Amino acid sequence: MIRPVLTEIAIFLIPFAVYAAFLLASRSGVWVKSSWPLHVVGKLAVAAFVLVIISLVLLAHFSGAPPGSTYTPARVEDGKLIRGSEK
């Protein structure tokens, strides 16, 4: 469960990292408050939310079992764990 959450957090931070890289490349102060005006941070936040929403839609669309498949739960046979499967 932690991996998907960290993935979404990383996707959210992408626009901010790109802007920080732009500030570094343009030799502006990354840690200077004037480099991060509220309207720019707002636009970055909107872009970040759009990226997260797109990633969640793509994750829901392209992951998981195919439609109509049947899940067989994990079980123990002869003392061995048999993994669950989707058929």
Q: What is the residue whose two structure tokens read 């829901």?
A: 60
Domain ranges of the chain: 2-86
Q: Give the model confidence (pLDDT) of 33-70 as tens digits.
A: 999 999 999 999 999 999 999 999 999 888 887 888 89
Q: Specify the pTM.
A: 0.72
The angle at the Cα of 19, spanning 45 to 60, to the nearest 5 degrees, equals 50
Cβ(41)–Cβ(77) below 8 Å: no
